[in-house]
Amino acid sequence: MNRRQWIYQSAFGLGSAALGQLLAADKRPHHQAKADACIFLGMLGGVSQIDTFDPKPKLIELNGKIMDWSKEKKTDQPNLFAKPRKFVASPFTFKKYGQSGREVSNLLPHTAQCVDDLAIVRSVQSDNGNHPAAVFQMNTGFIIPGNPSVGAWVTYGLGTANKNLPAFVAMPDFRSIPFSGAQQWGSGYLPAEFQGTVLRAASEPIRDLASPSNVDPKLIEAERVALRGINSAFQQERPDNPDLQARIDSYELAYRMQLEVPRVLSIDSEPDAVKEAYGLNDPITASFGRRCLMARKLVEAGVRFVEVFTPSQSWDAHGDIKKNHEKNAGETDKPIAALLNDLKQRGMLSKTLVVCMGEFGRTPDTPGEQEIPGRDHNTRCQSMWFAGGGAQGGSIIGTTDDIGHKAVEDIYHMHDVHATILHLMGLNDMRLTYYFAGRNRRLTDLGGRLIKQILS
Amino acid sequence: MRFWLYLSITALAAADGRLLPLLSQHCGSCHGGTQTQGGLSVNSMESLSKGGKHGPALALILPHITGEKTPRMPLGAELPASVIAEFKSAIQSIPTQAPIIDEHWSWLLQNPAQSAPPKTKNTAWPRNPVDAFILAKLESQSLTPAPVANRRTLLRRIFFDLIGIPPTPEEIKSFLADPDPQAYEKQIDKLLADPRYGERWGRHWLDLVRYAESDGFAIDGERPTAWRYRDYVIRSFNNDKPYDQFIQEQIAGDEYRGKGTGPQPDRIVALGFLRFAPWEADANSKKQLRQDFLNDVTGTVGSVFLGLTTGCAQCHDHKYDPIKHRDYYRLQAFFAGTATADLPIAHGTVENPKEMKRQQRLHDDESEAAQAELDRQREALKQKYMSLFQVKEDDAKVKQFLGKLNTKNLFFLDQDLPLVKEPEWRQPLKNYFDTRDKMQREQELARRYQALAYAVKDVAPPAAPDVPDTHVLIGGDLIARAEKVEPGFLFKTTPAEIPFAGGSNGRRLALAEWIASDENPFTARVIVNRLWQRHFGEGLVRTPSDFGRNGEPPTHPELLDWLATQFIERKWSIKSMHKLMLTSAAYRQSSHHPAQKEYAFNDPGNRLLWRMNWQRLDAEVLRDSILAVSGRLNPVPGGPPVLFDVPEDVAQGFEFFKWYPSSEEEQRRRSVYLIQRRSVIMPMAELFDAPNLSTSCARRLTTIVAPQALTLLNGALTRTEATHFATRLEKAADPVNEAFWLALSRPPTETERQTAASLANKSLASLAAVLFNLNEFLYVE
């Protein structure tokens, strides 16, 4: 039994938050961290490994030929696999890049230039081929709702480095937010203080951050003074309830956030070259680019964990792999490269872990009757990458079969990705536990395997 | 599930004879007899535990034969799934540790003891037997209880506790002036009879049963008539329905044969309890979806009614408690014939059937009109498209275009239809989607009024010839079916006797009657502990849904048992237990003790209850209180859910549904009536620790974070209601005084009066906003 949690939980009757904050201040990593912060780029819908980082020349000769699925018992989408299917060669061409000479397709011309900073894992598998369950697993380790997200676990383990900002921030694309909305960055059964705060692209980045515009700022200040006065007097007569002081402190933090957040997020002050690099001047890249730039600024200001998501199911290229992936790469490739370069130029990349992945990979084939080829869901392999923060740039891990249908060597699971993120941030996934409903819970359930080959 | 990693070497000694023959047959040619490839021999459990060059081998068997680890064994051949399942089962059968019935469990398995309240030295303090138990424990540690709280504090305490709304100035003043020695007791009776009591306590029950009005997962489809269960719960609390009946209705209302038998709509509505788990409507595997439902029910019944973490035995024997893996499936077998179903019911006796029908018809009519308009617009768009591209109606392009019109929204249309960007198309397309919105909204409203219960039913002949078999599933895995089991009660070895019960199969009835029985050692203890927890802030068992060895032991086991026996004696009446607890001296203590420092040092968690615990308002109570104080709480009870406003950018992000907020007036109703949609939790509820709606919530946390302050300082609720509160105050002779009485049930102190008056002179609304943000507003002493 983890005593610390027992104390934490049992103490709620007395002065939960005060004690919680006491413990939060005491948070230390389990071991020396390589990364102080993590930026997680969620490519929702599932990116095709075959068209990005895992070239399959064999598919060129197989293109259009019928795939025999009779030997495969389990498929992710039974309905789609009941009928004949045909192989699809990648519509994109591959070239070697960088000193490491890693192959990247011409779908990602900008990211390709950064390949020496990427540790690419071609063999990540997951448990469920349905988007909602798979997105849950990517974000929380489990295919069912109700569990804390990776960012919540990290915050629970490490606390915050900037008391004036939320420690964990999520930036979905509001054109289409991830399934189940806030549960994807929620704290599950962990206390609510570890939940991700949503930053919106709208004028007000955090809900209710700004004082009401129809109230005179002088009045706001008078309210603040009155509130503090009455609350302090009440607290002084009841010093034995630590919650009262904790709540007074939370108001002071809220006032500081009102000043700090707009300052940190102000993009206007960024040089034009930076705005251009992130693609803010182009309506296609502006949305993702803006959020990537905000991610960099937040990490710079001490935020622990930042998530940036593409629209829900955006990469889901059933209908037309070429058109879909060109559109989505067009929105994200340039901003992602800009983020990596920017972090590097500022000397932040070595201490900032960047992770880029989707909820699963895609199939090497398409339904036989489909005229324009697409690719369907594939949980047996996806190519994802780590960069910075202790990940060995230029490395490549894992092998898939010659048609890119499944990983065959150095196979890793989503839990292993999570264990590796925690490890690089100084946390041991077996030791990061929380007692809930009868037992100590973990992000990685019964434990993940470290992807050792990516460690620098 | 990698449970086998946990097997210890010592457990190997106890292995039975199933594994070795399997190993010999399939692995023996390389690792058996004199063959020891890689240093590994499978000749004996000892040689397995010693292992080969990769270390102890037991934990490696499955990863290598399933191919999870390379090389896949046996080399050059894949074992059939059936053999792998045999391996799994054999490894699973190696006992981890025998269930130990220790002191804790032997107490738990015995029916609550009918013990006499202990004698205490101080005989003046105890007001009822509850106090004797509390005081005896305090005296044994040479502690004294805190003094009684003042009358204002007491009244606020029972108001928030029982109805979740602060007293009005008139109510508090008349109580303070009431000379009757029974004035406090009278107030308790009054509040227990108040219909708002059910709205407050029903919410506690909804927390426990993972109540939600949508499926969760991607589609998060609405459960349009789930609200009837919410109203059923509220009614049940208000009517003080005996708890044993309440249990039976929720597990087997359709088979109920207790008092007042007969077809009552409420008994069907109650079955919703079994069905509130998240539901992946578009799951790839319907078999797995069905198993998920069964697993949820097995776990939830155990935790809610029995206070046992039965769900832990889904994949293996319980690691802490004497619940075997097999027991889990014996419990699950009670639900083997149960399927989810929306069942037609006569409109409840308390619903207004005429009004329900009228509303349904009204919205049906509206949606039909919108449908006609939609068809017209669709036709017009089609013609426009055909003339633009000079194509005929049967052209594939036209078909494709019409297909796009079925898409989710303009954004998705944007992606593949550049046309949308043309100005002369934009407006008609927008009109089209607006009309579709209106139609969908009306359809959505009509569905909520249907006379349907969100429930379950038994699959009976001829639809299903027999109740499906239940098998133990190794590792909880559907394909790893092992021994077949019959329905059986926990801790009883013989199969349960199943009474015949009409069109259903009677299994759930058997379970319900076993749980709701005077003889069940868990049921009464668990519920009285839950009642205690809500009144005192902490249960006597502080892990209210885990009475097992991994939970916390009871602080006052004798009191818990005494309360349980009282509860049964009082015919499972929840209200009578409220009265018993609330009239105790223990409950009336001040939350401050003169010797606080010293006492808190020795007992920081106040386990001995030497003072009353502070409580922070629940999210719903906070919101309701703000509305009550501003004078704008809409008291209309029951009915379809209320949809709150969400920010525009959030509203546009839902892929499978649109969000249609209710009218402003509707939105001022009590929080218990707000829609509980899994993917759209009200921001304020989320911030103030409301449950996440996915799993049973036995106990809410109370966190203190800055975004709570932001929302109370700047949010629309505070600011709007502050304005109305101010309007209310303007009429008062002494607005500052009235403001304090309304918000805090007391006049301001002299210092407060100065501060408040100076602010009120600038703006009464600002004073109102400040009051909503006070610690004293949010915390109950």
Of chain B residues 75-104, which have a CB less than 8 A from chain A?
81
Residues from chain A that touch B775, judged by Cβ atoms under 8 A, are 231, 234-235, 244, 247-248
> Looking at beta carbons, which residues of chain B come within 8 Å of A1?
550
* Contacts of B84 by beta carbon, 8 Å cutoff, 6+ apart: B62, B65, B66
Contact A13/B705, CB-based, under 8 Å? Answer: no
Reading the block at residue A258, the tokens are 């009102």
Parallel/antiparallel/unpaired status of strands A94-97 and A305-309 = unpaired
Residue type, A198: V
- pLDDT tens digit sequence for A316-368: 998 899 999 999 999 999 999 999 999 999 999 999 999 999 999 999 999 88
Cα–Cα distance between B496 and B508 in angstroms, integer? Answer: 11
Does the CB of A7 have a partner CB in chain B at under 8 Å?
Answer: no
List for chain B the helix, strand, coil content (%; round to 5).
55, 5, 40
> How distant, in Å, are the alpha carbons of A212, B406, B767 from that of B739?
22, 54, 8
Burial of A405 (0-12, 13-18, 19+ CB in 10 A): buried
Q: Is A455 on the interface with B (CB under 8 A)?
A: no
Task: Report which of B568, B592, B576, B570 is spatially closest to residue B531, judged by C-alpha positions.
Answer: B576
CA–CA separation, B40 and B56 (whole Å): 9
How do B470-473 and B481-485 pair as beta strands?
Answer: antiparallel
- Which of B120-129, B215-224, B419-428 is the most confident on average? B120-129
- Site from B703, B750, B753 to mutate, A interface, most A CB atoms within 10 angstroms: B703
pLDDT given at position A373: 92
Unique residue bearing structure tokens 């068992």: B541
Strands in A85-87's sheet, in edge-to-edge order, are A66-67, A85-87, A365-367
Q: Is the backbone peptide bond immediately before B553 cis, with ω within 30 degrees of 0?
A: no
- The Cα A424–Cα A36 span in angstroms is 9
If you ran DSSP here, which 8-state letter would residue A146 be given?
Answer: S
Q: Is A253 on the interface with B (CB under 8 A)?
A: yes
A contacts of B546 (beta carbons < 8 Å): 437-438
Whether the CB-CB separation of B328 and B336 falls below 8 Å is answered with no
Q: What is chain B's mean pLDDT, rounded?
A: 88
Find where tokens 């004036």 sit: A164
Which residues between 712 and 741 in chain B have a beta carbon less than 8 angstroms from any beta carbon of chain A?
713-715, 719
Exposure of A369 in the CB half-sphere (CA atoms within 13 A): 4
Residue A28 has pLDDT above 50, yes or no: yes
What's chain A's average pLDDT?
Answer: 88
pLDDT-derived band at A13, boundaries 50, 70, 90: very low
User: Which two three-digit tokens encode residue B304?
Assistant: 């809610």
In angstroms, the separation between the Cα of residue B12 and the nearest Cα of chain A is: 21
Encoded tokens for B618: 């629940």
Residue B242 has pLDDT above 50, yes or no: yes
Mean pLDDT along residues A215-238: 95
Higher pLDDT, B52 or B577: B577
CB contact under 8 A, A254 and B767: no
pLDDT in tens, B350-408: 678 888 889 999 999 999 999 999 999 999 989 988 888 888 888 888 888 888 787 76
8 Å CB contact between A422 and A441: no
Count of C-beta atoms within a 10 Å radius of residue B605: 17
Select from B298, B436, B454, B327 the least CA-distant residue to B377: B436
Q: Give me the mean pLDDT over the B409-430 stretch.
A: 70
Q: What angle do CA A253, A293, B218 make, to 5 degrees?
A: 80
Pick the range with the lowest mean pLDDT from A102-116, B539-553, B608-622: B539-553
- Check CB contact under 8 Å for A223 and B707: no
CB B653 within 8 A of CB A176: yes
**How far is Cα of residue A205 from the mean position of the Cα atoms in its chain?**
19
Q: Are A208 and B711 spatial neighbours (Cβ–Cβ below 8 Å)?
A: yes
Percent of chain B with pLDDT over 70: 91
Suggest the residue from B705, B750, B759 to mutate for an interface test with chain A (most A CBs closer than 10 A).
B705
B49-53, B459-463, B470-474: the lowest-pLDDT one: B459-463
Q: Tell me, what's the pLDDT at B474? A: 87
Q: Which residues of chain B make contact with A14, given a CB cutoff of 8 A? A: 600, 604-606, 613
- pLDDT tens digits, one per residue of A109-165: 999 999 999 999 999 999 988 888 899 999 999 988 889 999 999 999 998 888 888
* Phi, psi of B328, rounded to the nearest 5 degrees: -60, -45
Set of chain B residues whose Cβ sits within 8 Å of the Cβ of A181: 650, 653-654, 679-681
Secondary element (H or E) of residue A365 = strand A365-367
pLDDT digit string, tens, across residues B494-527: 888 887 655 668 899 999 999 999 999 999 999 9
How far does the CA of residue A68 sit from the closest CA of chain B (Å)? 19
pLDDT at B652: 65
Burial environment of residue B98 by CB neighbours within 10 A (0 to 12, 13 to 18, 19 or more): exposed
Q: Give which of B286, B649, B713 to mutate to test A binding, by max A Cβ within 10 Å.
A: B713
Residues of B whose CB is below 8 A from A313: 655
Is it the case that residue B443 has pLDDT exceeding 70?
yes
> CB of B319 within 8 Å of any CB in chain A?
yes
Distance from the A110 Cα atom to the nearest Cα atom in chain B, whole angstroms: 23
Angle between helices B196-208 and B227-238 (to 10 degrees): 120
Instruction: Tell me which residue of A316, A361, A326, A365 sits closest to A59, measured CA to CA.
Output: A365
**Residues B303-320: tens digit of each pLDDT:** 999 999 999 899 888 878
Higher pLDDT, B9 or B775: B775
Closest listed residue to residue B241, CA positions, set B191, B288, B205:
B205
Cα dihedral sign for B474, B478, B481, B487? positive
Instruction: Out of A13, A244, A438, name the one closest to residue B775 (CB).
Output: A244
**Residue ranges of B 196-255 with Cβ closer than 8 A to chain A:** 216-220
* Sign of the alpha-carbon torsion through A315, A318, A319, A320: positive
Q: Contact, A435 vs A9, CB < 8 A?
A: yes
Residue B461's SS3 state is: coil
Mean pLDDT is lowest, of A16-20, A425-429, B672-676, B753-757, for A16-20
Contact between B550 and A197 using a beta-carbon 8 Å cutoff? no
Q: Among A259, A254, A260, which Cα is nearest to A227's?
A: A254
User: Is pLDDT of A437 > 90?
Assistant: no
HSE (side-chain half, CA atoms, 13 Å) at B355: 8
Contact status of A186 with chain B (Cβ, < 8 Å): yes
Whether the predicted pLDDT of A6 surpasses 50 = no
pLDDT given at position B526: 98
* Banded model confidence at residue B90, pLDDT cuts 50, 70, 90: confident
Res. A18: pLDDT tops 50: no
Cα–Cα distance measured from residue A405 to residue A427, given in angstroms and rounded to the nearest whole number = 33
- Check pLDDT > 60 for residue B263: no
pLDDT at B502: 56
Q: How many CB pairs under 8 A join A and B?
A: 264
Q: Lowest-pLDDT range, B8-22, B626-640, B708-722?
A: B8-22
Percent of chain A residues topping a pLDDT of 90: 65
Q: Write down the pTM of the prediction.
A: 0.79
Whether A127 and chain B come into contact, CB under 8 Å, resolves to no
Kindly report the nearest CA distance between residue B276 and chain A, in angstroms. 13
The chain A residue lying nearest B318, using CA atoms, is: A438
Tokens representing A98 are: 């960088």
For residue B473, what are the CA distances in angstroms to B327, B336, B493? Answer: 12, 14, 19
The answer to whether A201 faces chain B, any CB pair under 8 Å, is yes
pLDDT interval class at B260 (50, 70, 90): low
Distance between CA atoms of residues B258 and B212, nearest Å:
28
Nearest to A288 by CA among A13, A65, A39, A92: A39
Q: How far lies B43's CA from each of B20, B57, B94, B421, in Å?
A: 7, 12, 17, 74
Q: What are phi and psi of B678, to 5 degrees?
A: -60, -35
Min Cα–Cα distance to chain A from B258, Å: 32
Higher pLDDT, A18 or B162: B162
E strands, A91-164, are: 94-97, 102-105, 118-121, 124-125
What pLDDT is attached to residue B462? 63
CA distances from B661 to A297, B450, B527, B645 (A): 36, 20, 37, 5
**Beta strand spans in B580-695 (E):** 615-616
Report d(CA B574, CA B233) in Å as an integer.
Answer: 13
Pick B704's closest partner by Cβ from A132, A200, A250.
A250
pLDDT given for residue B380 in this prediction = 92
CA dihedral for B593, B595, B600, B606, sign (positive or negative): negative
Whole-number pLDDT of residue A23: 38
Interface contact A77, partner B, CB < 8 A: yes
Distances (CA, A) of A229 to A224, A226, A251, A456, B753: 9, 5, 13, 54, 12
Chain A residues touching B779 at Cβ < 8 A: 241, 243-244
Pairing outcome for strands A85-87 and A439-441: unpaired
* A27 has pLDDT over 80: no
Distance CA B64, CA B75 (A): 10
Q: Is B141 on the interface with A (CB under 8 A)?
A: no
Q: How far is CA B557 from its chain centroid? A: 26
Model pLDDT for residues B592-603, shown as the tens digit of each residue? 999 998 998 888
**Shortest CA distance to A104 belongs to which of A46, A38, A47?**
A47
Residue B16, pLDDT > 70, answer: no
Within an 8 Å CB–CB cutoff, is residue B288 touching chain A?
A: no
**3-class DSSP state for residue B456?**
strand
Do strands B779-780 and B615-616 pair parallel, antiparallel, or not at all (unpaired)? antiparallel
Instruction: Tally the C-alpha atoms within 13 A of residue B657's C-alpha that lie toward its C-beta.
Output: 23
DSSP symbol at B68:
S
Q: What whole-number distance in Å separates Cα of residue B593 and Cα of residue B494?
A: 53
